[in-house]
Chain A
C-alpha cells in the first residue's frame, strides 16, 4: 500500500481494491506509529482527512470521481488552511488558525484530495536543513542523524518515509529541489507565476513558487495538473494556458539536447556526486539524447544576489507580523514600540531575524543602490545566461546539491556555509525558470539528485525527460532500509 504511487493508488481506488477511507486510515495509522522518528508533520488532520475521504468515496460511487479524487497528500505548513493551524514552523504563528484557504489548498480540495496534515519546514521557509523549525528538526529517513534538507524538509521526509504518497512544497532558492535530492524523491519547482501564491505565506515574493514533491515524475505531473493555473487573487500569477502535464510523459527522448554547464562541475565537486550525475547523463545518451558542454558564466554571483534580494523582500513581507492582528503577542507590552519589538524579537527565530536585518540594511537609506539595485542588475545577467543556453539546448542538467545529506548540527552554526548548499539551485529562482530534482544514485547510503532545468513554462518537457529516465532506471523506487 505505502509503496504505491499516486497513479497506482488512483487505479486501485477506481478498481475498488480499497476505499479512500481505508487508504487514508492506513496512512494516518502509519504516521501515528512512525513519525516520531522523523518529525515530518507539525499537524496531523485526522478528522478532516477521514471526512474528505468519505466524501471522495461517495463521489466515486456516484460516478463523479476525477483524476485526484480520494488521493491523500500532505501540505507544507506554509499554505493557509481554513480552520487549521498554519504555523510556518514559527513561534510567531504557533497559535495562528488560518481563516481562509490558500488557492493551492482550495484546488486540491475541489479535486477531491485528502489532506493528511501540515508538514514541517524551516521557519518562514528560510533554510536548507529544516533545523530552524520551532517544532524541532525533521530527520532524513535514509539516516536519521542527517538533515532532510529544507525548507520543505518535512514534506520530503514524509514522502521518503512513506508517510504520504506526495506532498506540496515551496521553492524560493531550492527549497523543493534540495530536500527532494537529499531524501531521494522527485520535486518540481514550476516557472514563476505558474502556481498561485495566494494564501502561501510570503517569504520573497519575486522568487517564491509552490510545487509538487512525490516519488515519481508521473505523480508530480498529476499534482501539477491540480496546482497550476492563473489566479486573479495573485498579482504575479501568469495567464498561461495549463496543459495536461501527464500527456507528454511517454514521448521518446531521441533528439533531446542536454547542456552541462561547466560551472556545475567545479574542481571541488564531491567526486561521488559527480560520478552519479555523469552516470545519469550516460543513461540519457543511451535514451537518444545528445550532450554538450555549455557555460553559465554568472553562476557564482547567484548566491550574493540572492542573499540580498531574498532577505530584502523577506524584511518587507515579514513586517506584517507585529503582534497586532494575529499571531504571537508579547506579554504586557508597555507601549506600541515595545509591542512590535518584543513580539517580533520573541516570535522569530535567529535565522529569520538575521535575514530580516540583512534585508533591512540592504534597503536602508544610502545602501539601496549598492545592494538591492546591484543585485537586481546581476539578476538580469543571470537570466540572460540561461536564455542564451536554452536557445541552444532543450534542457540543462547538473547535480542538485554539492553534497548529500549532512549531519544535523554540522552547518547550523555557520550561516554562510549553509547558504552554499544552494549553489546549484538558487539561480533558477532568480531567473524564474522551472526545474526538477530526480533521484539518480546514492553515495554512502544517501541519495543523490539530478537537477533538470527547462525553459519558461516548459514543465511538460521537464516531466517527460524525468519520466523517461524513471522508466529506464529505478533509483526513484529505492527506499531507506526498513521502510
Chain B
C-alpha cells in the first residue's frame, strides 16, 4: 500500500505530530512498507468472525459511582510545566 506525502502530512496532523520536511520521504517509505506487511491480513477470509478486543473476552467491570480516590490535585499538579491557581496554563486558545 503506497502512501504519498499528503497522506503522511494528514496523518501527522491527526496525530498532532510535527515532522520535519526532510523526514517526510523516509516516513512515507517506512509507513508504506509497514502497510504492505499488514496487508497480508487481506488474504484471509474472516467473514462472520467476531472481532476480539480482549483476549479473555472479558466484559468491562463496573463499580458503584462512589468516590474512592483522594483528591491529590496539588501533588499531581506539582509536576506541570505551567500551572497557577489550580489550573494548567497553555497558550491562548480563544483569540
Contacts and interface: CB of A to CB of B under 8 A. Distances in A.
A356 interface: yes
Given A345-B19, A416-B37, A432 B55 contact: yes
Given A301-B41, A344-B16, A377 B30 contact: no
A99 B76 contact: yes
Contacts of A236: 54, 58
Interface string B45-68: 010011111111010110100000
A235 B61 contact: yes
A301 B44 contact: yes
Interface of B is mostly: loop
Interface residues of A, number: 72
A381 B75 contact: no
Contacts of A344: 15-18
B45 to A, nearest CB: 10
B67 to A, nearest CB: 14
A325 B37 contact: no
A206 B50 contact: no
A307 B52 contact: no
B31 A353 contact: no
A334 B81 contact: no
Contacts of A361: 7, 11, 31, 35
B85 interface: no
A346 B18 CA distance: 8
A96 interface: yes
Nearest to A364: B14
A360 interface: yes
B71 interface: no
B6 interface: no
A339 B91 contact: yes
A153 B75 CA distance: 32
B51 A377 contact: yes
A438 to B, nearest CB: 23
A304 interface: yes
A110 to B, nearest CB: 19
Interface string A436-456: 000000000000000000001
Contact of A357 (B27, B44, B91): B27
The winner among A333, A361, A374 for most chain B CB atoms within 10 A is: A361
A345 B56 contact: no
A357 B44 CA distance: 25
Contacts of B8: 357
B33 interface: yes
Nearest to B43: A301
B44 A360 contact: no
Contact of B30 (A232, A326, A354, A432): A354
Given A358-B34, A415-B34, A335 B18 contact: no
Interface in B2-39: 7-8, 11-12, 14-19, 23, 27, 30-31, 33-35, 37-39
Interface in A313-346: 315, 319, 322-327, 329, 333-342, 344-346
Nearest to B89: A324
A56 interface: no
A95 to B, nearest CB: 8
Contacts of B44: 298, 301, 378, 381
Nearest to B54: A206
Contacts of B81: 323-324, 326-327, 329
Given A99-B72, A371-B38, A335 B91 contact: yes
B54 A301 contact: no
B78 A99 contact: yes
A306 to B, nearest CB: 9
A416 B40 contact: no
A193 B80 CA distance: 31
Contacts of B77: 325
A37 interface: no
Given A193-B58, A301-B41, A336-B90, A99 B16 contact: no
A55 B4 CA distance: 60
A340 B58 contact: no
B17 A334 contact: no
B38 A341 contact: no
B35 to A, nearest CB: 8
Nearest to A369: B51
Interface string A94-106: 0011011000000
In the complex, the 4 A-B pairs of residues with the closest C-beta atoms, listed nearest first = A432-B55, A345-B18, A376-B51, A377-B46
Interface of B: 7-8, 11-12, 14-19, 23, 27, 30-31, 33-35, 37-42, 44, 46, 49-56, 58, 60-61, 63, 72, 75-82, 88, 90-93
Given A323-B81, A325-B88, 10 more contacts: A206-B55, A301-B44, A307-B37, A325-B80, A341-B18, A348-B17, A358-B31, A376-B53, A379-B55, A380-B50
23 contacts: A96-B79, A99-B75, A99-B78, A193-B58, A235-B60, A315-B15, A319-B16, A324-B80, A326-B81, A339-B91, A341-B18, A354-B34, A356-B15, A357-B31, A361-B7, A374-B46, A377-B52, A378-B41, A378-B44, A415-B34, A432-B54, A432-B55, A456-B56
